[in-house]
Each structure stands twice: as C-alpha cells, then as structure tokens.
Amino acid sequence: MTVNVSPESLPALVLNADYRPLSYYPLSLWSWQDAIKAVCLDRVNIVSEYDRVIHSPSFEMKLPSVVSLKSYVKPARHPAFTRFNVFLRDRFQCQYCGSREDLTFDHVIPRSLGGRTTWDNVVAACAPCNLKKGNKLPAQINMHPWQKPFHPTVHDLHNNGRAFPPNYLHESWMDYLYWDTELEP
Ligand SMILES: [Zn+2]
C-alpha cells in the first residue's frame, strides 16, 4: 500500500493554511509545474525550497519543496462513504483474516437479509473470506470482523493514513509530517 513518489520529479508537499498536510494518504503532493503555477497565481506561500533553480526569459526561482495554501481549506467533518475510505478505516486489511490481498467490500449483515450499505455494516474483506462468508450472518458461520464497523472521523482516517508513508520523503517535508514508523535514510 505504498504510494510511489519519484524524487526526480521534485514534488512539493502541500500544506493547508495551518501547516498540516492536506492529506496523509495519499500524501498531498503536487508536481513542480503545479506548484509553480499556484505560486504565480498567489494561492500558496513557499515554505521550503529545493536547490534546483528554474529559469524562464522573465524570471528565475528555486523550485518549492513545501508550499502552504493561503486560504484554509476546511476538511469535511464526515468523510465520504467510499470504497477507498472503508479500506483506509480498516487499514487495508481483511477484517476476518488480516490479509492485505484481493480486498473486497463485505456486508456484515448480508444485503439479502436486509443489511445496508453503510459505515456500520460494511468492512474490508479479502475475496476468499467474502466468498466463504457468503450470505450468512456472522454468528451462523462464526466469522466476526476484528473491529466493529463504525463511522470514522476525518481524524481517524488521517491517523490510519499515517501508517502508509510513501516510498520517498524529502528531508524538508519532515517538519510537517509526523510518521509513526522509523524511516530508512
Ligand atoms: Zn480474509
């Protein structure tokens, strides 16, 4: 579940106006072209820079490595109910066996028995577990999700997202990221 970031593409970490990343997973990054465009449109402040300088006939500037939005974007209070967000809440793990492969969407109370497609009835499940559980209730087949499905807050999803750092993090980003894991140099 690692997001591939290419250091050669000199991406800029995008912070909200409160200096927190707009998103942890995937980490909010812009291409250097988009970062420059936002600087020219006066939408962001440059917080930190790469050594690399770009030149045009009319100006030259260092490429930004961290930018912050000038106006605060209010995060949604309640995250949208999407497949991705369900997987993120469940940390991309099957809630029955822990597998990270072949994830699907499982209705804990099957739809055929009136189960709804909502935060509190849907969990991540690998395809084999989903197949095995079929149209049965958890108690009928003794398959209970590890955690009771719940409606997460944005904070919950951010926290989980921090468990999935991308393959590359520039040193200038580190002051704004608080990863739980020890990172390779
Ligand atoms: Zn499974």
Interval 46-66: pLDDT, tens: 999 999 998 888 888 999 999
CB contact at 8 A, 25 and 179: no
Q: Would you say residue 32 has pLDDT above 90?
A: yes
3-class secondary structure for the chain? CCCCCCHHHCCEEEECCCCCECCECCECEECHHHHHHHHHCCCEEEEEEEEEEEECCCCEEEEEEEEEECCCCCCCCCCCCCHHHHHHHCCCCCCCCCCCCCEEEEECCCHHHCCCCCCCCEEEEEHHHHHHHCCCCHHHHCCCCCCCCCCCCHHHHHHHHCCCCCCCCCHHHHHHCCCCCCCCC
Q: What is the CA(145)–ligand 1 centre distance, in A?
A: 10
Does the pLDDT at position 36 exceed 60?
yes
Instruction: Please give the distance, rounded to the nearest whole angstrom, from the Cα atom of residue 119 to the centre of ligand 1.
Output: 19
How far is ligand 1, taken at its centre, from the CA of residue 86, in Å? 15
Task: Report the separation in Å between the CA atom of 69 and the middle of ligand 1, taken as the mean of its atom positions.
Answer: 41
| 106-138: pLDDT as tens digits | 999 999 999 999 999 999 999 999 999 999 999
How close is the Cα of 23 to the center of ligand 1, in Å? Answer: 28
Question: How far is the centre of ligand 1, averaged over its atoms, from the C-alpha of 101 (Å)?
Answer: 8
